[in-house]
Structure 1
Amino acid sequence: MTSERTQRLLAPAASKDPFTKLTLHILQCSGTAPCDWCTKHNLACRIDESTDSRRKIHIKRKIESLESDRDVLTRVLESLRNSGVTRMHSLLQLIRSNASLGELQLFVDDRLENARTADSALEDDEVQMPDDSVFKIPRRVMNVKRLADQPIFRVPAKPWTRVTDDDDFVSHLISLYFTWRHSCFPCMDRVPFIRDMKAAKLSSRFCSPFLVNAVLANSCAYSDYAEAYEVPSDPSTRGTHFYHEAKRCFEQEDGLSTIATVQGLAVLSTCAGLMGKDRRGWIYQGQLAFAAKELVRTLPLTPSGLIIPKSETERAIEITLWGLYITTIAHALAYQKPPLVERPRFPYPPSSHDDDSPLWYPYPQGGEGLQGHFMCYFNSLCKLTTIVDEWCTLLFDGFTKPALEEIRHMEKKVYRLLLEWEMALQPCLKIESRRVILPHILSLHMYYHDIRITVSELAGAAVYGAKSPRSGLDRHPEQMTLSSARQMAGLMEVHRSLWGIDLFPASHIQWITVSMFTLLGGLDNPANQEAFVTLTTAAKVASRRWPIAKRTLRAIQLTGRNMRVRLPPETDALFTDFEREIWGPGGRKGLSSCYPNFAVLAGSLRDEEVELDRFLEKQDVLDASDMEEEDEGVE
């Protein structure tokens, strides 16, 4: 009896002899898969190239591919050995930005080989590279093979989404969401959500198709699986299939204000912003504000004065409403808009060091679970958000323009509250060199420095104007904002040393962008240059995953050009690769973003559009005009 495998390998024929069948197929085969003979006879071509007469060709091609890869790696190694510090640092940053072998080869060909002589002359004048290995914990290399993937949560695809029926892929995305997004900006209680999703019942209280598809759309940016793209090989379509499905599911809910609906709106509005569609995202936030009020009205909470255990529903609502408040205030600060969600009427969720609290796992790298300190983190983030709320309410309420004295007073108050917040941090939330710092705790400190930069720069622009000195006796000096920007780069280096640079929370895009805009005004300082290089590397990694990161990095590049700032030479290769491989001629396609150019807000760049889509559109028009003038000159 022939085996099942043998039967699959053989094309149908009249003879019952397997050898005869295989011989007939090979004689008729055109050498491609599927072959012309099988196509003509409407048969599945199953010939294994390694077992037929084409084996030598197959092996030869494999050897040639391996030799080509080895040649690239050899040349990269040679360039690292022979180049000066500047070029070596450029290549190192390009490698850290997750560049492919092809991109590395282009860099070696175009940049390094022609610069050896110049580098040798400059070698003695280079600034010594600092030791960036304060944290010695070894980095784990992510195994991208599907068979080796071990999601943290095992959940079904059905009945939650129509996009896929692959339980493994959906489990992969859900695990990514709770590792990289939820831990930083939680808006749901994880335990009942996972439980209800596993139950696969559409009548569940804490899970719905709308919420699940919004989460899956958000998670696709963290995935390297082909299924994360709606259109294969098109990075701009990461998660768009789940995004459209989430919108469809939301329309079917017909105005309901359930816990899952409110949570889904929070996730979807964030997802829209990361896709470069934040104008649509603000519409969702407006709907979210109304839905949150309806949720509070229809599901009253236990009065805070009563000491009785909270029900699961009450706990879920409490976490949800504080999570919505945190998210919308962060968006208000980033986009310079009035907050749309009011502060919850009940106290902060309390800190907790329970031994049975959820662990954080470094998925998909693999590794042991670590104590997440999620409730301690959540409590501190709530307190930090109330500080930001005061600032946003004063400056962006949209009804009255605050007096200059009010802005001065609020700036001082914010800094006093920030200092008190920092001093009151629990030990589990502090940055210490001798212990592992989790990504969401790093995010907390990055948000703190982002607030310091934003408040100082905007207060200075409002009170002193763009033409005044950027420092003075009665305001925080420029050095304070530059110091926070350098601290931001240091925190990203901690993340890289502990968890790698390929994955980090999407919220880091905002912190990185504001810091880079700030550093543009101080690149004459070597320490600021080094910080800018570090942040550029992270921004380029983010530009491969999130459309908004691609557009903000382009805005930083063009802003530096308009400010006539010479960017650090170590970033030349990064921006060259970015323009060639990531930005391309259709870089603005699908962009509808009012994300502000921070350099324009702070007064460092004048007479330019503030909103991102209009700024990039104007720059494209100017670039096109310059090209036409060059063409006329050639004629």
Structure 2
Amino acid sequence: MASITKAPQKSWTNVTSDAELVKHLLELYFCWEYPTLASLSKEHFRQDFSSGSSRYCSPLLVNALLALGSRFSDRPEPRTDPDDPFTAGDAFFEEAKRLFWEQTDHQDLTAVQAIGIMSIREASCGRDIDSRYYAGQSVRLAIEMGLHRLDDDGTGDDHRTVQLITLWGAFSLDHAWSLTTGGLPQFSRFPRFPSKIHVNSELEETSWAPYTDDGPDPRPEAQQPCHIRSVFNCFCELKIYHKYLHWYENIPDALRLGLNF
């Protein structure tokens, strides 16, 4: 599993100056949450995070990711109360909210991605109403930006790929909430759907291993292919409730309950 190996060119958060902690929390996110609902491109994010570019990285997105990554850590540093694990990531989340409301133009890829991450973080805290709200905001922004009118033209254009990942990440999250609650999704029908993300065989075989506060699991038997695009495209098919059973019948064995790590 590739990781952030060099210090970023600039600080992306005002909550902490601990670069090691930031790197650690991002690794936790990319290990445990990203493979399920990948609402951003890890490769493009990491490149811009390290270089200081704001095209695919932003303080809003970084703080949202750190807030969610904190949920996978038992370390006291990400907590506002060191003795209360339920406060893990709260400071990062408050900073993300502040940055979002200070931003005058929300029609930005990193904003759409960040709001989706904030939705997942609130769900992990048991705040379903807030989570559903953020999920709705994310997919509505994606539609306002016209991302649903895009398509994969087969050229492998990086920006087009990130746009499609952003759209499908927001769309899948909204429909996952629809399935969970039995409510209607924000958008249940489009004139047409854009294509799914191209499955890159080299990326599919990238190694995944458990990562915890103790670091990556070094055991060879803990390594497995990530299948990141296949999993992502599978969740993109989770469109509306009445298609759920058909969807479940056709998912890979690795995703079936009780068979995954």
TM-score w.r.t. structure 2 length?
Answer: 0.85
Give the letter for the 1:247 counterpart: K
2:227 is aligned with 1:376: no
Map Cα deviations across residues 12-46 of structure 1 (whole Å, 9 max, x no partner). Answer: xxxxxxxxxxxxxxxxxxxxxxxxxxxxxxxxxxx
Q: Which residue of 2 aligns with 1:314?
A: 160
Question: How do residues 182-193 of structure 1 correspond to structure 2 at under 5 angstroms?
Answer: 182-193=34-45
Contact 2:122 2:131 in 1 (8 A): yes
Give the letter for the 2:161 counterpart: R
Map Cα deviations across residues 76-105 of structure 1 (whole Å, 9 max, x no partner). Answer: xxxxxxxxxxxxxxxxxxxxxxxxxxxxxx
Quote how far apart the aligned CAs of 1:217 are.
0.3
Q: Which residue of 1 aligns with 2:76?
A: 226
Tell me the distance in 1 between the aligned counterparts of 2:103 and 2:149. Answer: 22
Quickly say closer, same or farther: Cα 1:254–1:375, change in 2 above 3 A. same
Query: Which of 119, 144, 147 is the matching residue for 1:294?
Result: 144
Quote how far apart the aligned CAs of 1:175 are.
0.5
Quote how far apart the aligned CAs of 1:361 are.
2.8
Question: How do residues 159-178 of structure 1 correspond to structure 2 at under 5 angstroms?
Answer: 159-178=11-30
Question: How do residues 279-358 of structure 1 correspond to structure 2 at under 5 angstroms?
Answer: 279-296=129-146, 301=150, 303=151, 306=153, 308-342=154-188, 345-354=193-202, 358=206
Please list every run of at least 4 consecutive aligned residues from structure 1 whose deviation after the TM superposition is greater than 3 angstroms.
154-158, 341-344, 355-358, 413-419
Give the letter for the 1:358 counterpart: T
Quote how far apart the aligned CAs of 1:214 are.
0.5
Map Cα deviations across residues 514-547 of structure 1 (whole Å, 9 max, x no partner). Answer: xxxxxxxxxxxxxxxxxxxxxxxxxxxxxxxxxx
2:51 is aligned with 1:207: no
Map Cα deviations across residues 46-69 of structure 1 (whole Å, 9 max, x no partner). Answer: xxxxxxxxxxxxxxxxxxxxxxxx
Give the letter for the 2:155 counterpart: P
Give the letter for the 2:49 counterpart: M
Query: Which of 366, 388, 391 is the matching residue for 2:217?
Result: 366
Tell me the distance in 1 between the aligned counterparts of 2:107 and 2:209. Answer: 32
Contact 2:61 2:113 in 1 (8 A): yes
User: What's the RMSD between the two structures over aligned residues?
Assistant: 2.7
Contact 1:265 1:288 in 2 (8 A): yes
List alignment gaps of at least 5 residues for structure 2.
none
Between the aligned residues of both structures, percent identity stands at 28
Tell me the distance in 2 between the aligned counterparts of 1:263 and 1:240. Answer: 19
Map Cα deviations across residues 276-322 of structure 1 (whole Å, 9 max, x no partner). Answer: 3222223222322321112226x963x55x5x413211000111111
Give the letter for the 1:205 counterpart: R
Tell me the distance in 2 between the aligned counterparts of 1:246 and 1:162. Answer: 10
Quote how far apart the aligned CAs of 1:416 are.
4.9
Question: How do residues 30-109 of structure 1 correspond to structure 2 at under 5 angstroms?
Answer: none
Q: Which residue of 2 aligns with 1:248?
A: 98
Tell me the distance in 2 between the aligned counterparts of 1:283 and 1:414. Answer: 23
Tell me the distance in 1 between the aligned counterparts of 2:139 and 2:246. Answer: 30
TM-score w.r.t. structure 1 length?
Answer: 0.37
Relative contact order, higher structure (CA 8 A, sep 6+)? 2
Query: Which of 17, 30, 48 is the matching residue for 1:196?
Result: 48
Question: How do residues 486-501 of structure 1 correspond to structure 2 at under 5 angstroms?
Answer: 490-491=258-259, 495=261
Quote how far apart the aligned CAs of 1:341 are.
4.3
Question: How do residues 562-573 of structure 1 correspond to structure 2 at under 5 angstroms?
Answer: none
List alignment gaps of at least 5 residues for structure 1.
1-150, 392-412, 431-440, 447-489, 496-635
Question: How do residues 402-551 of structure 1 correspond to structure 2 at under 5 angstroms?
Answer: 415-416=245-246, 418-419=248-249, 421-422=250-251, 425=252, 430=253, 441=254, 444-446=255-257, 490-491=258-259, 495=261
For these two proteins, the number of residue pairs brought into alignment is 252
SS at match of 1:354: helix
Quickly say closer, same or farther: Cα 1:224–1:291, change in 2 above 3 A. same
Tell me the distance in 1 between the aligned counterparts of 2:21 and 2:98. Answer: 21
Contact 2:161 2:197 in 1 (8 A): no
Give the letter for the 2:3 counterpart: I
- Give the structure with the higher percent helix: 1
Quickly say closer, same or farther: Cα 1:335–1:255, change in 2 above 3 A. farther
Map Cα deviations across residues 411-461 of structure 1 (whole Å, 9 max, x no partner). Answer: xx7545543x15xx4xxxx3xxxxxxxxxx4xx323xxxxxxxxxxxxxxx
Tell me the distance in 1 between the aligned counterparts of 2:75 and 2:143. Answer: 38
Give the letter for the 1:362 counterpart: P
Tell me the distance in 1 between the aligned counterparts of 2:138 and 2:104. Answer: 14
Quote how far apart the aligned CAs of 1:161 are.
0.6
